[in-house]
Structure 1
Amino acid sequence: MEYIHYQTENRIAYITLARAEKRNALNEQMVSELKQAFGQAADDAAVKVIVLKAEGQAFCAGADLAYLQQLQKNTFEENLDDSRHLKELFHQIYTHPKVVIAQIQGHALAGGCGLATVCDFSFTVPEAKFGYTEVRIGFIPAIVKVFLLRKIGEGKAKELLLTGELISAEKAVQMGLITYLSSADTLEQEVNAFAAKLVAANSGQAMSTTKQMIARVQEMSLEEALEFAAESNAHARATADCQKGIAAFLNKEPVVW
């Protein structure tokens, strides 16, 4: 891969945006490589947690300028295919079987803010800015708003999506867009410690099932969601991880995941 670095260590997969000279701006190839990297992590049984991070000063500046210029020449069918390409990446991360943590060392704008939105957890530095600036260039934040509405609710989503204004990292945390605030000096250390804690303390199978359920129950009626939850509960009791965890608890023994 040209724009993405992929490596694993201690059961953590690190997916790094490596297009710093373009502020890690997204184009078709970069989206393809991200989909490939997340697919690789999904298939790796040794990986329990994923960290998405970036090189350079910016986390991701959204769509590449040359890429945007090219889109103006596309037919509707070509633009639809391209939109679906990005949709598939966001959906892949949001429904990924592994927990995904964003390590945000700089600004995350437009599509870059979308990447942060679909991760399960996110750490950022006080200097970073966040925002969906699409309306300011006559575009729309169409795909990301599906996930943003779920994450922070309609009122806060409207504030971000309709104004196009950038917000501080502190406000992003207050709104629930970002999970944790870290200093630049400790960001990587805190992300690695958090990821390592999830790896050591929790069942990968249980985290995966819980994450999938969170994504699905919001689409169901109350009755459907409760029945789905009851069935999932029953299935979980028969898993090897559940049996192992309960046995360790009853025997007052530490469980090694």
Structure 2
Amino acid sequence: MDNLVLYGVEDRIATITINRPDKRNALNPDLIKDLTDAFIQAEEDDLVKVVVLKANGGTFSAGADLEYLQQLQNNTFEENVTDSNNLKRLFTTIYYLPKIVIAQVEGHAIAGGCGLATICDIVFATPESNFGYTEVKIGFVPAIVSCFLMQKVNETVAKEILLTGKTCTAEQALLYKLINFVTNSSEINLKVKEFALSLCKESSGNSLMITKQLISQTTNPLLEKMLETAVQINARVRESADFKRGIASFLNKEKINW
């Protein structure tokens, strides 16, 4: 069985690669755990100054795995709280990581996959990439990821993105300030490496760490409380009739009229 996450280091840059291309790099508990472990490994690696998150295949991440969604319908409330806390741990590990994290988004980043990109410090994307929080379309709520989205965009944009569930192009995401750069697919590897190397060579590692901490701790000092609330909301919504109906329709590829 192939590793769900690949880890490598070169020139003080750790590359963490999501490796489920046959499942469009969809998230499930095993992948969430392996990604968390990889970021902790990068944090503890003294040879690493910058981290790049990317994915194999044509999709950055399509969000939650279909089998995983099916399983959620049978979870108890306590199991859903535990599961939500695991996702929260992955996101906070990235957000508070004392090293700069760059997302290299090639292909679509949807729902939880969009959340992964949103949490990273710097985001590069190709013109073909689409971004979106589509949870409301299947009776779900983008609870945990919304806490981080609000750190990047204003309330007007956040409401548009979260309430409509529509996807947007990379150019639109750039206008929303959701991402930093749009780069052609033929150049994105080089551009990301150049950017990462410039941080490695031109900036103090200690200064980068403290500056990132300064931003994360002063932008929203209530983030941890927001996340605790989001975990409870996430678990509660999974028990709702709309969630069960939406997931069933999604799994059966049936159009649903709300």
Fold agreement, TM-score > 0.5: yes
Partner Cα distance (1:136, 1:18) in 2: 27
Q: Which amino acid aligns with 1:109?
A: I
Q: Does the 8 Å CA contact 2:91/2:116 hold for their aligned counterparts? A: yes
Partner Cα distance (1:154, 1:94) in 2: 20
Q: Which amino acid aligns with 2:91?
A: F
Partner Cα distance (2:40, 2:67) in 1: 27
What is the CA deviation profile of residues 24-43 of structure 1, one whole-angstrom value per residue up to 9, with x for unaligned ones? 00000000000000000000
Give the RMSD, CA atoms, in angstroms.
1.1
Task: Write out aligned runs for 1:174-213 (5 A).
Answer: 174-213=175-214
Shift of 1:220: 4.8
| Counterpart residue number, 1:8 | 9
- Secondary structure (helix, strand or coil) at the match of 1:8 reads strand
| Counterpart residue number, 1:51 | 52
| Counterpart residue number, 2:153 | 152
Query: TM-score, normalised on structure 2?
Result: 0.84
What is the CA deviation profile of residues 157-194 of structure 1, one whole-angstrom value per residue up to 9, with x for unaligned ones? 11100000010010001100011000010011100000
What is the CA deviation profile of residues 83-134 of structure 1, one whole-angstrom value per residue up to 9, with x for unaligned ones? 0000111111011100000001110000000000000001000011100000
Q: Which amino acid aligns with 1:209?
A: I
Identity among equivalent pairs (%): 52
What is the CA deviation profile of residues 49-86 of structure 1, one whole-angstrom value per residue up to 9, with x for unaligned ones? 00000000000000001000001000000001000000
Q: Which amino acid aligns with 2:109?
A: A
Partner Cα distance (1:86, 1:149) in 2: 17
| Counterpart residue number, 2:253 | none
- Secondary structure (helix, strand or coil) at the match of 1:205 reads helix
Distance 1:123 1:78, change over 3 A: same
- Secondary structure (helix, strand or coil) at the match of 1:122 reads strand
What is the CA deviation profile of residues 180-235 of structure 1, one whole-angstrom value per residue up to 9, with x for unaligned ones? 000010011100000000000000110001001101112359xxxxxxxxxxxxxx
Distance 1:111 1:220, change over 3 A: closer
| Counterpart residue number, 1:98 | 99
Aligned residue-pair number: 221
| Counterpart residue number, 1:28 | 29
- Secondary structure (helix, strand or coil) at the match of 2:166 reads coil
Bigger Cα Rg: 1
- Secondary structure (helix, strand or coil) at the match of 1:61 reads coil
Q: Does the 8 Å CA contact 2:128/2:169 hold for their aligned counterparts? A: yes
Partner Cα distance (1:171, 1:204) in 2: 32
Partner Cα distance (2:8, 2:192) in 1: 16
| Counterpart residue number, 2:75 | 74
Q: Which amino acid aligns with 1:160?
A: I
Distance 1:220 1:108, change over 3 A: closer
Q: Does the 8 Å CA contact 2:151/2:220 hold for their aligned counterparts? A: no
Distance 1:167 1:46, change over 3 A: same
Task: Write out aligned runs for 1:157-176 (5 A).
Answer: 157-176=158-177
Partner Cα distance (2:28, 2:79) in 1: 14
Higher relative contact order (CA 8 A, sep 6+): 2
| Counterpart residue number, 2:251 | none
| Counterpart residue number, 1:113 | 114
- Secondary structure (helix, strand or coil) at the match of 2:7 reads strand
Shift of 1:150: 1.1
Identify unmatched segments of 5+ residues in structure 2: 223-258
Partner Cα distance (1:180, 1:220) in 2: 28
Task: Write out aligned runs for 1:232-243 (5 A).
Answer: none
- Secondary structure (helix, strand or coil) at the match of 1:208 reads helix
